Amino acid sequence: MRDPLGLAEPFGLDAELAPVLDMLDGTRTLPQIRQSLLMTQSLDLPLAELSAFVEQLRDQGLLDDDAFRERWADAHTDFLEAPVRAPTLAGLVYPDRADALAAALERAIPSQPPGVPRQRPGSSVIGVLAPHGPLDRVGPLLDETLRGLPPPEAIEQVVILGTDHGPGLLPYALTGKPFLTPLGRVPAATELLGALERRVGWVLREEIRHRDAISIELAVVVLQHLYGDRCPPVLPVLCGSTALSSEDQQDARERFELALGSLCEDRPVLWWVSAELGHAGPAFGRPPLHDLHRVELQDRDAQLVAALLRGDDAKLVELARREHAQGPASGGPALAAAARLLPPGYRGELVRQTSYEAPGSDPGVVGIAGARLHAPSAR
């Protein structure tokens, strides 16, 4: 079991106990659950064993009770009071030592590549679509995509539109904390955030969502490699699923997008869309992946990328909300946000669309794409 809030450590679960989780909805006593297991699953689980299992869940903070709420309150307070957003993936997804991380990044994204350089003065690039997976899986695509970018002196701030893999009520969540990684600290775009908060008062209300925001953290690590100590300040924006699915949040979403878009209209901003596409197969808790599913998801991914390249936010929303046995596209909300926030008439350049097999023993596939987004043509 894995806690999406990150409050509990992952632990193994006996397969025969899995049905118990569905019954822990607060409407049954333990004896009633035991009886239901016996009647529906032919599982004769001693009451003492069932009680011990539930107590283990309680100790881990996985039940909706006072123990969970206390643990959540402590984590919330600790995060809000911390002066920086500390790394959560160092030592897990990327090396936790600065020298090892710098070497891994240099292997994946060489600073002096053949052909088009990483940075180009006078570049028309105002944004990129970049995946945020492990470097050994997404490095080649990052290498191809992150070329011809504006130099740091031509960028006032980087707005990172990141996929939010966790729960949230509001369509967007921001933080004003600097990001800390093994490579050092990246400053926050506090002036832009302050101006935005004066227009949209709720932007920091769900700041806690940044505690485990992997898409933002991995984007920051790559930005540090590209720009070093001259990395521009970042405005991290987590794009949640309610930006697509909640009619109640439509006014809030539109107000936010209007405010941020207008604030960035006359600023030299680099838009960094940290998003992936389909996540399919048992590795992601989905059904077994059949050849037909692969074809369908590749086609959906291609349509999503094409809609982003032409700035068609309505098509992006339609595709991102379309039901499929393998679930929605992971980065749908971030892609739709980019289409709405970038200046009208921006030009998209596809670098490559591909996929990679999910790490680990369970089969799965991750769809990814790289693209450069250019300023509108001068008239």
Within-domain flag for 379: no
Contact 146, 206 (CB under 8 A): no
User: What's the DSSP call for residue 224?
Assistant: H
From 25, 49, 74, give the residue that closes a domain: 74
Please measure the distance between the N-terminal and C-terminal CA atoms of the chain and give it in whole angstroms. Answer: 56
SS3 label, residue 150: coil
Residue 179: partners with Cβ closer than 8 Å, 6 or more residues away = 84, 85, 185, 186, 188, 216, 217, 220, 234, 236
CA atoms of 253 and 25, how far apart (whole Å): 32
Task: Note whether 30 and 129 are same-domain residues.
Answer: no
Residue 186 has what pLDDT? 98
Q: In the chain, which stretches have pLDDT less than 50?
A: none
Within-domain flag for 9: no
pLDDT tens profile 286-299: 889 888 888 999 99
Task: Note whether 42 and 191 are same-domain residues.
Answer: no
Which regions of the chain does DSSP assign to beta strands (E)?
A: 125-130, 157-163, 172-174, 179-181, 184-186, 234-239, 269-274, 279-280, 347-357, 365-374
Residue 341 has what pLDDT? 97
Residue 35 has what pLDDT? 87
Which structure tokens are listed for 184? 């050092």
Which structure tokens are listed for 260? 């941020």
Residue 266: partners with Cβ closer than 8 Å, 6 or more residues away = none
Within-domain flag for 1: no
Task: Note whether 164 and 31 are same-domain residues.
Answer: no
Task: Classify each residue of 142-170 as buried b or exposed e, where b means 16 or more C-beta atoms within 10 Å of its C-beta.
Answer: bbbbbbbbbebeebebbbbbbbbbbebeb
For 248, counting Cβ atoms within 10 Å of its Cβ (0-12 exposed, 13-18 middle, 19+ buried), the class is: exposed
Residues composing the chain: 379
Task: Note whether 67 and 91 are same-domain residues.
Answer: no
Task: Note whether 28 and 169 are same-domain residues.
Answer: no
- The pairing of strands 125-130 and 269-274 is parallel
Range of the domain at 62: 15-74
CATH number of the domain residue 244 falls in: 3.40.830.10
Within-domain flag for 3: no
Within-domain flag for 250: yes
Residue 173 has what pLDDT? 96
Task: Note whether 312 and 365 are same-domain residues.
Answer: yes
For 194, counting Cβ atoms within 10 Å of its Cβ (0-12 exposed, 13-18 middle, 19+ buried), the class is: exposed
Task: Note whether 60 and 101 are same-domain residues.
Answer: no
> Which one, of 315, 363, 318, 312, lies nearest residue 339 by Cα?
312
Within-domain flag for 266: yes
User: What's the DSSP call for residue 249?
Assistant: G
Cα-based distances in Å from 88 to 77, 95, 120, 307, 371: 17, 11, 32, 33, 27
Residue 349 has what pLDDT? 97
Q: What total of structural domains would you count in the chain? A: 2
Residue 59 has what pLDDT? 78
Task: Note whether 46 and 89 are same-domain residues.
Answer: no
Residue 5 has what pLDDT? 62
Task: Note whether 65 and 203 are same-domain residues.
Answer: no
Within-domain flag for 327: yes
Task: Note whether 36 and 97 are same-domain residues.
Answer: no
From 74, 94, 115, give the residue that closes a domain: 74
Residue 379 has what pLDDT? 60
Residue 68 has what pLDDT? 78
Assessment of whether the complete model's pTM goes beyond 0.75: yes
pLDDT tens profile 304-317: 999 999 999 999 99
Which structure tokens are listed for 176? 């004003």
> Residue 124 — φ and ψ, nearest 5°?
-90, 0
Amino acid at 6: G
Task: Note whether 200 and 68 are same-domain residues.
Answer: no
Task: Note whether 33 and 182 are same-domain residues.
Answer: no
CA atoms of 299 and 358, how far apart (whole Å): 19
Tell me which H or E stretch contains 376.
none
Within-domain flag for 2: no
Residue 11 has what pLDDT? 66
From 33, 50, 74, give the residue that closes a domain: 74
Residue 150 has what pLDDT? 98
Task: Classify each residue of 318-355 as buried b or exposed e, where b means 16 or more C-beta atoms within 10 Å of its C-beta.
Answer: ebbeeeeebebbbbbbbbbbbbbbbbeebebbbbebbb
Q: What is the largest CA-CA distance in the chain?
A: 76
